[in-house]
Structure 1
Amino acid sequence: MKKFEEKTYETETIYKGKIVQLNIDSVTLPDGNTSKRELIKHPGAVAVIALTEEGKLICVEQYRKPMEKSLIEIPAGKLEEGEEPKTCALRELEEETGYTTDHLQFLTSFYTSPGFADEIVHLYFTEHVKPLEETPPGDEDEFVDLLELTLEEAEQLEREQRIHDAKTAYALLYLKLRQQR
């Protein structure tokens, strides 16, 4: 038995959408009592820290409905069923930015909100990008602007809360630590 494991004895699916599924799990707690857990099931995602030849961070700005504002983020996207994370990372980089690369390095994976969601983000890095002759079409309901930022510019946008998401904050921390080596 895993430490503090909660055994699920019933799962009720409340909602199944295009991106997420909401389940209510009935669980037995380690002390024998029972409880309910509201869980968001997500297929996983990727994010790419991509630097231009000049060392600028490639970002996109897009409107985020849950926050009711535009955010500046590193390129990212949802895994399709059965898709390898590295394949998805390259696809998202190309669709969102018009750049491609032959050197995509896996850095790490992390959970975004483990208290209620199983979403995992696979993070990649490249400093060897080249522009595509033609940008492949992205999602029909996604509208983005491309930005290329110095680390200092990105840090200022973070202070202004225009960069305000975990994956991009993680990317900035990675770049700061990398710079110190």
Structure 2
Amino acid sequence: MEHLVEKTIRKEKIFSGKVVQLYVEDVQLPNGKTSKREVIKHPGAVAIIPITKEGKLVLVRQYRKALERVLVEIPAGKLEKGEEPLATAHRELEEETGYRARSLCHIASFYTSPGFADELIHLYVAEGLTKIENAASLDEDEFVDILEVTLEEALEMFEKREIYDAKTAYALQYLQLRRAMGEEHA
């Protein structure tokens, strides 16, 4: 596979923000020619599929500035420096939904956009949910509505493009597969 590797010749940081850093890299291609790559560095994130004892999914509705629209998604959030994904999942579940989970099971980790970003999302299923009286609050720049829906209702939201992001689509596919295999959660 070495014949596919691009070697970095030069790397320049163009932007450093609160969440991402943008680099422009000069690379030597496998055929010896050179090219430029724009690369976004991201600390990584978690996404959670919270399932209530009634078998409903806990979702969040929020505005996404990059898309200039409101989406319905599974709860998610970025890893803080030095934080383990499991700890992030517990924190984000509580902050975004007001629930605490008895168990969090890691399902998969996947890259969101490997053509230009290194963001890795760790996906968990959260079960044994308990509503918390004084839950940790959202970040000051975060505003969400909480929804509890059946898988069928979530799939309808997907059809209507209310659910329109990859991590939530992945989660719905996972739940459908588990149902088809007779291994439903909750």
Normalising by the smaller structure, the TM-score range is: over 0.9
Deviation per CA, 1:7-39, whole angstroms, max 9, x where unpaired? 001100000000111100110111111110000
Q: Is it true that 1:74 corresponds to 2:77 in the alignment?
A: no
Mapped to 1, the partners of 2:9 and 2:101 lie a distance apart of 46
Task: List runs of 5+ in structure 1 lacking aligned partners.
Answer: none
Deviation per CA, 1:72-106, whole angstroms, max 9, x where unpaired? 00000011111100000010000000000121111
The residue type equivalent to 1:145 in the other structure is D
The residue type equivalent to 2:36 in the other structure is K
The answer (yes or no) to whether the contact 2:102–2:127 under 8 Å persists in 1 is no
Q: Is it true that 1:95 corresponds to 2:95 in the alignment?
A: yes
**TM-score computed with the length of structure 1 as normaliser:** 0.98
Shift of 1:3: 4.1
The answer (yes or no) to whether the contact 1:63–1:69 under 8 Å persists in 2 is yes
The residue type equivalent to 2:119 in the other structure is E
The residue type equivalent to 2:93 in the other structure is L
The answer (yes or no) to whether the contact 2:14–2:23 under 8 Å persists in 1 is yes
Deviation per CA, 1:33-61, whole angstroms, max 9, x where unpaired? 11100001100000001100000011000
Runs of 4+ in 1 over 4 A off after TM superposition: none
User: How many residues are paired up?
Assistant: 181
The residue type equivalent to 2:73 in the other structure is E
Map of 1:165 onto structure 2: 165
Map of 1:134 onto structure 2: 134
Q: Is it true that 1:118 corresponds to 2:118 in the alignment?
A: yes
**TM-score computed with the length of structure 2 as normaliser:** 0.95
The two structures, once aligned, show a CA RMSD in angstroms of 0.9
The answer (yes or no) to whether the contact 2:110–2:122 under 8 Å persists in 1 is yes
Sequence identity, in percent? 59
Mapped to 2, the partners of 1:136 and 1:113 lie a distance apart of 30
Map of 1:5 onto structure 2: 5
Mapped to 1, the partners of 2:162 and 2:24 lie a distance apart of 34
The residue type equivalent to 1:96 in the other structure is E
Distance change >3 Å, CA 86–CA 34, structure 1 → 2: same
Shift of 1:2: 2.9
Shift of 1:127: 2.3
Map of 1:17 onto structure 2: 17
Mapped to 2, the partners of 1:2 and 1:104 lie a distance apart of 38
Map of 1:36 onto structure 2: 36
